[in-house]
Amino acid sequence: MYKDRWNNSEFLIELSQIQFNPEDFLRFVDRYEFKHYINAYGKSTPQEVCYNRSLLVQPIVQHYLDVFKDFDIRLGQSDHPGGTGLNGWQLIRSDMTENGLARHIDAKRPACITFPLTFPQSINFHESKDSDILYTYEYKPVIIILNSGSKWHSVSQTAEPRLQFQFDCYNSWEEIKELTENLSLI
Ligand SMILES: [Fe+2]
């Protein structure tokens, strides 16, 4: 019954048309230091981020900045009083061994262009703040855009390591749908 209410394209868009090999990121991840991520409400999360500027000169990051050049990706620290803040680009690593990520919508970014780097990893979607899991999406080696600013999501507790590269994206979901259609023409 839940399945009928799961409208995939309102929650996420898989960009299978764009080539992506997680190895291209994994080969340099170990060189970077991460810092604990505090959310916009000043709460600790089981996540660590790396905002190092030298990530931006990695050829693979440059490549994807070009692929997504028509998207509203804002590079540089954004205001996030009480928390770590957003950055525009990041490596993000999680240790969900003790705690998952509570359901939330992203406070400061409408969408997230997500490059999953470790597998298995998954994300849960909820219809509302109080609803159970509507759907659990299992990541594949495919770039996705997440409607993270409008759709409630969470991550279940897991012993699996979890690593992603992300761009923060400030387009509306309607704009993103249009922009991704144009991407398929590349
Ligand atoms: Fe989120």
Q: Give me ligand 1 centre to Cα 155, in Å.
A: 9
Q: Give me ligand 1 centre to Cα 171, in Å.
A: 16
Q: Could you tell me which residue, 121 or 79, shows the higher pLDDT?
A: 121
The secondary element (H helix, E strand) that includes residue 28 is: helix 23-29
Q: What is the pLDDT of residue 164?
A: 98
C-beta separation of 148 from 92 below 8 A:
no
C-beta separation of 55 from 89 below 8 A:
yes
Alpha carbons 163 and 119: distance in angstroms, whole number = 9
Separation of CA 167 from chain center = 7
The amino acid that residue 177 corresponds to is K
pLDDT surpassing 60 at residue 186:
no
Alpha carbons 94 and 100: distance in angstroms, whole number = 9
Q: What is the DSSP letter of 139?
A: P
Least confident of 7-16, 70-79, 131-140, 174-183: 70-79
Q: What is the pLDDT of residue 185?
A: 59
Alpha carbons 135 and 2: distance in angstroms, whole number = 8
Q: What is the pLDDT of residue 78?
A: 72
Q: Give me ligand 1 centre to Cα 153, in Å.
A: 6
- Per-residue pLDDT tens over the stretch 111-168: 999 999 999 999 999 999 999 999 999 999 999 999 999 999 999 999 999 999 999 9
Q: Give me ligand 1 centre to Cα 112, in Å.
A: 8
Q: Give me ligand 1 centre to Cα 51, in Å.
A: 17
Q: What is the pLDDT of residue 170?
A: 96
Residues with CB in 5 Å of ion ligand 1:
106, 148
Q: Give me ligand 1 centre to Cα 52, in Å.
A: 21
Separation of CA 14 from chain center = 12
34 CB-contact burial (10 Å; exposed 0-12 / middle 13-18 / buried 19+): middle
Q: Give me ligand 1 centre to Cα 60, in Å.
A: 24
- Per-residue pLDDT tens over the stretch 47-65: 999 999 999 999 999 999 9
Which pTM was predicted?
0.94
Q: Give me ligand 1 centre to Cα 22, in Å.
A: 21
Residues contacting 90, CB < 8 A, separation 6+: 49, 50, 51, 55, 165, 166
Domains and CATH numbers, the chain: 2-183 (2.60.120.620)
Q: Give me ligand 1 centre to Cα 47, in Å.
A: 11
Phi, psi at 166, each rounded to 5°: -140, 150
Q: What angle do CA 66, 67, 69 make, to 5 degrees?
A: 55
